[in-house]
Amino acid sequence: MRKNFMMLGVSFTLIISSVSADDLKNSLTNMLNTKDTSGMVDLGNINLDAKSKPKRPKTRSAKAVIATVNGHKIIKKDADNYLAQRTQGKIKDFDRLP
C-alpha cells in the first residue's frame, strides 16, 4: 500500500514538472522569435545650454526633535543656537553639518 502511494506521488510530480517545463520552454521560444524594436526618441527639443535648477538644501523645522539625551529632547532651534555660539557664528544650521 505504501509503495503504491509513493509511486503515485512520484509519477504525479513528474507529470506536473514536465507540464510546467513545457510552458517555460514555449514562453522562452516565443521571446526569442519576436523581434524587439525600440521606439525612436526625438532629441530635437533638448536645450543643451540650459542651466540646472538649484537645489534647496533640506532642513528640518525649528520644532523638530533632533535627539534625546538622558530623557531630554533636543530641539533643532536650541541646537542651532548652541552651534552658532560654539562655532562663533561660522555654522548656524545643524542640518548643514558635514
Q: What's the confidence (pLDDT) of residue 38?
A: 66
Q: What is the pLDDT along the chain (98 residues), one digit of tens a residue?
A: 888 878 888 887 777 666 566 677 777 787 777 766 666 777 888 888 888 888 877 888 889 999 999 999 999 999 999 999 999 989 888 888 87
**DSSP of 24-72:** HHHHHHHHHHS---PPP---TT--TTPPPPPPPPP---TT-EEEEETTE
Q: What's the confidence (pLDDT) of residue 40?
A: 75
Quick one: CA dihedral 38, 39, 45, 50, positive or negative?
A: negative
Q: What's the confidence (pLDDT) of residue 4?
A: 82
